[in-house]
């Protein structure tokens, strides 16, 4: 059974930093692209970042470029998101998401339960 368990969320002041982690099990972690997606209060889902299966390629949405860094450790089956220079608008539940692929078409398949990040003074 696929399991994605996020941790590291909490309350942080504007300008501060936080590191989110996602522990994966139930599948061959090193074979899958992984993502972070967030949902701010009262808003829709927003794609944040993605990383290729070997970690060699990364993607960031424009609003987090230069502030967030995605990484993975395939030996430990973990996905991380280092967040710095945090802003109030980064307040959201952050979800770790596993890619799924069918006949060569890949999509956001399985979602973890999420971890809440609150940026406030």
Which window, 8-16, 22-30, 38-46, 82-90, contacts another protein (CB under 8 A)? 38-46
> How far apart are the two ends of the chain, measured CA to CA in Å?
40
Q: Give Cβ neighbours of residue 60 (< 8 Å, ≥ 6 apart).
A: 48, 49, 68, 70
Residue count, binding to another protein (CB under 8 A)? 21
Which window, 18-26, 65-73, 81-89, 98-106, contacts another protein (CB under 8 A)? 98-106
Q: Indicate whether 99 belongs to the interface with another protein (CB under 8 A).
A: no
**Whole-number minimum distance, CB 20 to another protein, in Å?**
15
Measuring CA to CA, which residue among 118, 115, 120, 119 is closest to residue 8?
115
Q: Indicate whether 113 belongs to the interface with another protein (CB under 8 A).
A: yes
Among 23, 61, 69, 74, binds another protein (CB under 8 A): 61
Q: Measure the CA–CA gap between 49 and 40, rounded to whole angstroms.
A: 15
44 versus 75: smaller Cβ distance to another protein:
44
Q: Measure the CA–CA gap between 33 and 29, rounded to whole angstroms.
A: 9
Q: What are 43's two structure tokens?
A: 């808003």
Q: Which residues bind another protein (CB under 8 A)?
A: 35, 37, 43-47, 59, 61, 95, 100, 102, 105, 107-114
């Amino acid at each position: 059974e696929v399991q994605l368990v996020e941790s590291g969320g909490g309350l942080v002041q504007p300008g501060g930093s936080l590191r989110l982690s996602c522990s994966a099990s139930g599948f061959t972690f090193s074979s899958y692209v992984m993502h972070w997606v967030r949902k701010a209060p009262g808003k829709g889902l927003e794609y944040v970042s993605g990383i290729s299966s070997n970690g060699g390629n990364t993607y960031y949405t424009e609003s987090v470029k230069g502030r967030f860094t995605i990484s993975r450790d395939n030996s430990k089956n973990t996905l991380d998101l280092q967040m710095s220079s945090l802003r109030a608008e980064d307040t959201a539940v952050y979800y770790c998401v596993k890619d799924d692929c069918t006949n060569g078409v890949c999509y956001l398949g399985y979602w973890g339960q999420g971890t809440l990040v609150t940026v406030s003074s």
